[in-house]
């Protein structure tokens, strides 16, 4: 059978690239067809109803956790960030048929999430294998009514199975669990996921709050200066603001999605490095999958997931990473974080200062240091001047450059308001924090 693709002449760049990619593999697809059909028989695709989503709190090991789950034979998943675009893609390209969506999604994912791709890089699958898997799905389920095919749930199931079949994965049972890794904490996405898979689980990775803020600021600074601006922040239409973005994410994303409390557990970053076996055993029990030593292997698509920092690379747990880090925070910053996020330190069993157990002490510390810009804010201001204001002056973008002082003042006021709100929620006891597994 041939897949009907109606977007061959479409002006959309994603669809153009997807059509060319598929057309280039037509000859090779036929060579893989029989193998993919045979493998697909091992899956009960419509019956796959168990799923879990992985989200992060700052930079807290969500990719490492996903890599531990990769090799389990009762799990199917897409590696790295390749599943992050499923729900945005479905909304944006809703008019496409199921089969057109399956053909177009890999290109969409590659263009939107540049750090991880389907057909290139360390964890690539062969395009011909993937398209042959889509053909096998089409041959099996193409006769089903259009309304049955058109649902978001069906696209989610078929995409995961197409990927697993392309990879050659044979499941332990016909209905393996689908691990979805959006990483970002988003209430709308979570509601969509829960609607598609009622009872689906949410796993949030968490970290020592001092380290989480320090590391996430560093990551956001890198992304905003580089990836988000095409390495030309001086040409951006907006100013860099990773300091505010860091605190907003930390203060807003330390609890379960609305209404999902009973379906949610957290996994500590430090436990993934210091006690991976015990941690993955508890997680496997909560997810309802068997514990197996493969849950200690850090892989994607069966290939080792290698992490590199400062010119040093490693695979899997690295105990040194569990140490508290704070190079982007000074003493005053740390003191205020201990005060604002005291409940986080206690609920998640992270060491804090004993004096913080007194609410009046925490309130006093926040009242004093709330007025003083954090070290992150000073670093943020320096980056805006260095990478945006001065280059803009030299290139004649005077309006953009002259707007920097007003932006920095507004950012300070916004940060003060954000911290005040976060403090009020926590001192009043209205914040229901994530519960570690």
pLDDT at 177 over 60: yes
User: What pLDDT does residue 226 have?
Assistant: 85
* 225 in the same domain as 124: no
Question: Total domain count for the chain?
Answer: 2
In a domain, 383, yes or no: yes
**236, 172 Cβ separation under 8 angstroms:** no
From CA 339, how far away is CA 349, in angstroms rounded?
A: 15
Q: Give 2's pLDDT tier (boundaries 50, 70, 90).
A: low
Confidence of residue 367 (pLDDT cuts 50, 70, 90): very high
| Same domain flag for 93 and 235 | no
pTM given for the model: 0.93
Domain containing residue 336: 211-249+328-427
Would you state the pLDDT for residue 231? Answer: 83
Phi-psi region of 302 (alpha: psi -120 to 50; beta: other; left: phi over 0): left
Q: Are residues 92 and 165 in the same domain?
A: yes
Residue 85 in domain: yes
Residue 53 near residue 64 (C-beta atoms within 8 A): no
Residues 365 and 242 in one domain: yes
Same domain for 195 and 243: no
Q: Is the pLDDT of residue 411 over 90?
A: yes
| Percent of the chain whose predicted confidence (pLDDT) is above 90 | 81
Determine contact, residues 45/136, Cβ cutoff 8 Å.
no
- In terms of domains, do 240 and 302 share one? no
pLDDT exceeds 80 at position 210 = yes
pLDDT at residue number 1: 55
Is residue 227 scored above 90 in pLDDT? no
| Residue 61 is assigned to a structural domain of this protein | yes
Does one domain contain both 241 and 295? no
Give 2 or 353, the one with higher predicted confidence.
353
143 and 62 assigned to the same domain: yes
Query: With contact defined as beta carbons under 8 Å apart, do 101 and 137 qualify?
Result: no
* pLDDT value at 387 more than 80: yes
Q: How far apart are CA 18 and CA 13, in angstroms?
A: 8
Is residue 27, in this structure, part of any structural domain at all? yes
Predicted confidence (pLDDT) per residue in 281-305, tens digit = 999 999 999 999 999 999 999 999 9
* Together in a domain, 285 and 402: no
Looking at residue 116, its pLDDT comes to 66
* Same-domain status, 168 and 65: yes
Same domain, 21 and 162: yes
Q: What percentage of residues in the chain have a pLDDT greater than 70?
A: 99
Residue 49 shares a structural domain with residue 109? yes
For residue range 5-63, what is the model confidence (pLDDT) as tens digits?
888 788 999 999 999 999 999 889 988 989 999 999 999 999 999 999 999 999 999 99
pLDDT, one tens digit per residue, over 240-250 is 999 999 999 99
């Amino acid at each position: 059978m041939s897949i009907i693709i109606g977007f061959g002449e479409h002006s959309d760049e994603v669809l153009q690239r997807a059509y060319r990619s598929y057309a280039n593999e037509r000859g090779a697809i036929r060579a893989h067809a029989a193998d993919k059909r045979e493998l697909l028989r091992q899956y009960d695709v419509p019956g796959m109803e168990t799923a879990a989503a992985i989200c992060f709190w700052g930079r807290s090991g969500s990719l490492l956790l996903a890599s531990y789950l990769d090799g389990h034979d009762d799990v199917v998943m897409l590696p790295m960030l390749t599943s992050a675009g499923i729900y945005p893609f479905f909304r944006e390209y809703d008019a496409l048929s199921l089969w057109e969506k399956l053909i177009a999604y890999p290109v969409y994912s590659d263009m939107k999430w540049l750090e991880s791709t389907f057909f290139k890089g360390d964890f690539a699958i062969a395009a011909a294998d993937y398209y042959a898997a889509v053909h096998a799905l089409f041959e099996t389920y193409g006769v089903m009514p259009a309304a049955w095919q058109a649902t978001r749930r069906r696209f989610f199931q078929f995409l995961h199975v197409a990927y697993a079949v392309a990879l050659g994965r044979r499941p332990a049972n016909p209905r393996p669990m689908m691990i979805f890794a959006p990483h970002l904490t988003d209430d709308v996405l979570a509601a969509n996921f829960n609607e598609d898979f009622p009872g689906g689980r949410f796993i949030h990775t968490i970290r020592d709050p001092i380290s989480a803020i320090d590391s996430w600021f560093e990551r956001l600074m890198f992304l905003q200066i580089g990836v988000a601006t095409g390495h030309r922040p001086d040409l951006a239409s907006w100013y860099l603001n990773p300091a505010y973005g860091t605190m907003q994410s930390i203060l807003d994303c330390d609890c379960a999605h609305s209404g999902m409390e009973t379906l949610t557990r957290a996994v500590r970053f430090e436990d993934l490095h210091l006690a991976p076996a015990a941690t993955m055993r508890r997680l496997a029990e909560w997810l309802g999958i068997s514990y197996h030593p493969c849950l200690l292997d850090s892989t994607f698509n069966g290939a080792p997931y290698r992490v590199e920092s400062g010119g040093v690379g490693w695979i899997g747990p690295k105990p040194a990473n569990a140490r508290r880090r704070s190079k982007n925070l000074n003493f005053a910053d740390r003191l205020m974080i201990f005060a604002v996020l005291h409940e986080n330190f206690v609920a998640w069993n992270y060491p804090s200062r004993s004096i913080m157990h007194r609410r009046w002490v925490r309130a006093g510390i926040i009242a004093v240091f709330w007025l003083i810009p954090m070290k992150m804010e000073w670093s943020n201001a320096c980056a805006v001047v260095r990478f945006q204001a001065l280059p803009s002056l030299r290139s004649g973008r005077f309006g953009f450059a002259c707007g920097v002082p007003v932006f920095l003042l507004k950012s300070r006021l916004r940060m003060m308001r954000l911290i005040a709100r976060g403090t009020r929620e926590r001192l009043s006891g209205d914040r229901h924090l994530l519960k570690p597994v």
